């Protein structure tokens, strides 16, 4: 017997950024109401939702109001797992506080990846300076990352020597860190998986991701990698979601390593992912629609890819000192879709929007996306 939460039920979301905005649009399209909790009065999803609770994420009154929603989800992993557990006592919460707690901590995350029978990069946990005096040469050159709160390449430093490692540890000012060996990356891919239960689980096609300065720049779909490897990546994403008994949308970032093109899991995000934005324009179902469906106990919508594409992020970097970038560069294209998040302030490195180029092949779409990004930057 399944129990569906149906429109016009009120759905709640922790966080009001761009992921919450796209969630809100999907939910409202299907006839649901949306309540957003975000302390920022200018949060992009705030003005799209029916209700914007403008309060801290652990505000008891706001959480009480959110608990009156028929189901609650989150747009980011750094929400307190405690708040999610409290909410779960009063309403349907997905993903679970336990799953969010795994994704917000690189140490827990790595041990769950291994528990699911999957590979990670070689790593060592660092709990104090004493751990750095032990021989770390097996992990050098490496990347020292804080165990929690890292995103878009923040909270991580590349280290080549033991001395650099000590200096980096001091600089990060976090007792608990992880030292990862820097692996020979041949490609980076990610898979967004939508899971209700062991039977109801579907993956979107793998995206091939290119990062610039630690921030996702382009996602090419289909990835320019052997089909077999892509299917293996989807299989691994499902395996991980099953091991965690995950409910909702989860993204799994993977590295393709070395000549043997070995697939290792980098990290997971307990929510829709930037690399899954292409699904808005290039698939029959998108990742936000899946988030709505799964939190409501509905099976994931069937996924078919309509066209090859390339998604490109638009960062605050392309804003001129005064005014707006020249959007005609994107909008004059008949096969390019623009998504702006409505953020009031543009800053270097801040994700302000994205566009998706649809083409005959992902390589062609990528070439066009590069040219558009270039033109935006020059204006």
Whether the CB-CB separation of 222 and 230 falls below 8 Å is answered with: yes
User: Could you tell me the smallest distance in angstroms from the CB atom of residue 311 to Mg ion?
Assistant: 16
Calpha distance 283→202 (Å, rounded): 13
Residue closer to Mg ion (CB basis): 253 or 368: 253
Residue closer to ligand ADP (CB basis): 81 or 159: 159
Residue closer to ligand ADP (CB basis): 97 or 150: 150
- Considering only the stretches 75-83, 99-107, 252-260, 290-298, report the one whose residues sit in contact with Mg ion under the rule CB under 5 A: 252-260
- Considering only the stretches 64-72, 115-123, 247-255, 282-290, report the one whose residues sit in contact with Mg ion under the rule CB under 5 A: 247-255
Residue closer to ligand ADP (CB basis): 131 or 326: 131
Q: What is the CB neighbour count within 10 angstroms for residue 168?
A: 20
Whether the CB-CB separation of 157 and 128 falls below 8 Å is answered with: no
Among Mg ion, ligand ADP, none, residue 308 binds (CB under 5-8 Å by kind):
none
Among ligand ADP, Mg ion, none, residue 186 binds (CB under 5-8 Å by kind):
none
SS3 content of the chain, % helix, strand, coil (to 5): 30, 30, 40
User: Could you tell me the smallest distance in angstroms from the CB atom of residue 10 to ligand ADP?
Assistant: 32
User: Which residue do the tokens 């001129």 mark?
Assistant: 320
Among ligand ADP, Mg ion, none, residue 264 binds (CB under 5-8 Å by kind):
none
Calpha distance 71→56 (Å, rounded): 19
Distinct helix (H) and strand (E) counts, the chain: 12, 18
3-state SS class at 355: strand
Residue 88, token pair as written in the block: 């779960």
User: Could you tell me the smallest distance in angstroms from the CB atom of residue 204 to Mg ion?
Assistant: 17
Residue closer to Mg ion (CB basis): 25 or 249: 249
> Residues near 134 by Cβ (< 8 Å), separated by ≥ 6?
none
* Phi, psi (rounded to 5 degrees) for 21: -60, -45
Among ligand ADP, Mg ion, none, residue 183 binds (CB under 5-8 Å by kind):
ligand ADP
Strand pairing category for 201-203 and 185-195: antiparallel
Calpha distance 215→317 (Å, rounded): 12
Among ligand ADP, Mg ion, none, residue 214 binds (CB under 5-8 Å by kind):
ligand ADP
User: Could you tell me the smallest distance in angstroms from the CB atom of residue 349 to ligand ADP?
Assistant: 12
Residue closer to ligand ADP (CB basis): 46 or 155: 155
- Considering only the stretches 78-86, 246-254, 288-296, 307-315, report the one whose residues sit in contact with Mg ion under the rule CB under 5 A: 246-254
The β-bridge partners of 208 are 189, 220
Residue 347, token pair as written in the block: 């800053």
Whether the CB-CB separation of 32 and 9 falls below 8 Å is answered with: yes
* Residue numbers at the binding site for ligand ADP (CB under 6 A): 121, 143, 150-153, 180, 182-183, 185, 188, 211, 214, 253, 266-267
Among ligand ADP, Mg ion, none, residue 143 binds (CB under 5-8 Å by kind):
ligand ADP
- Considering only the stretches 60-68, 241-249, 253-261, 344-352, report the one whose residues sit in contact with Mg ion under the rule CB under 5 A: 253-261
Whether the CB-CB separation of 246 and 269 falls below 8 Å is answered with: no
Among ligand ADP, Mg ion, none, residue 152 binds (CB under 5-8 Å by kind):
ligand ADP
User: Could you tell me the smallest distance in angstroms from the CB atom of residue 288 to Mg ion?
Assistant: 20
Query: Which residues contribute to the site for Mg ion (CB under 5 A)?
Result: 253
């Amino acid at each position: 017997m399944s129990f569906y939460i149906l429109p016009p039920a009120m759905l709640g979301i922790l966080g009001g950024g761009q992921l919450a905005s796209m969630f809100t649009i999907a939910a409202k399209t299907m006839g649901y109401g949306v309540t957003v909790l975000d302390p920022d009065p200018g949060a992009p999803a705030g003005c799209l939702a029916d209700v914007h609770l403008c309060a801290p994420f652990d505000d008891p009154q706001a959480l009480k109001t959110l608990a009156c929603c028929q189901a609650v989800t989150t747009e980011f992993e750094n929400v307190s797992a405690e708040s999610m557990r409290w909410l779960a006592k009063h309403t349907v919460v997905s993903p679970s506080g336990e799953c969010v707690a795994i994704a917000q901590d690189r140490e827990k995350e790595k041990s769950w990846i291994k528990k699911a029978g999957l590979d990670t990069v070689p790593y060592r946990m660092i709990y104090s300076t004493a751990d750095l005096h032990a021989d770390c040469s097996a992990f050098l050159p490496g990347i020292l990352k804080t165990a929690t709160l890292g995103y878009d390449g923040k909270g991580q430093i590349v280290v080549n020597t033991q001395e650099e490692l000590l200096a980096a540890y001091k600089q990060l000012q976090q007792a608990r860190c992880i030292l990862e060996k820097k692996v020979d990356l041949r490609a980076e891919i990610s898979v967004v998986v939508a899971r209700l239960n062991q039977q109801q689980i579907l993956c979107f096609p793998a995206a091939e991701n290119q990062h610039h300065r630690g921030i996702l720049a382009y996602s090419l779909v289909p990835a320019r990698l052997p089909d077999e490897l892509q299917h293996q990546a989807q299989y691994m994403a499902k395996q991980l979601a099953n091991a965690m008994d995950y409910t909702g949308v989860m993204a799994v970032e993977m590295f393709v390593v070395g000549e043997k093109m070995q697939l290792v899991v980098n990290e997971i995000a307990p929510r829709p992912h930037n690399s899954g934005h292409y699904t808005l324009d290039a698939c029959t179902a998108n990742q936000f629609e899946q988030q709505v469906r799964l939190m409501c106990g509905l099976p994931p919508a069937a996924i078919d890819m309509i066209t090859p594409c390339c998604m490109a992020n638009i960062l605050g970097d392309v804003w001129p000192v005064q005014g707006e970038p020249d959007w005609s560069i994107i909008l004059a294209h008949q096969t390019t879709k623009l998504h702006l998040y409505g953020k009031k302030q543009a800053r270097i490195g801040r994700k302000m929007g994205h566009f998706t180029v649809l083409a005959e092949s992902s390589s062609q779409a990528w070439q066009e996306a590069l040219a558009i990004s270039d033109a935006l930057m020059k204006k």
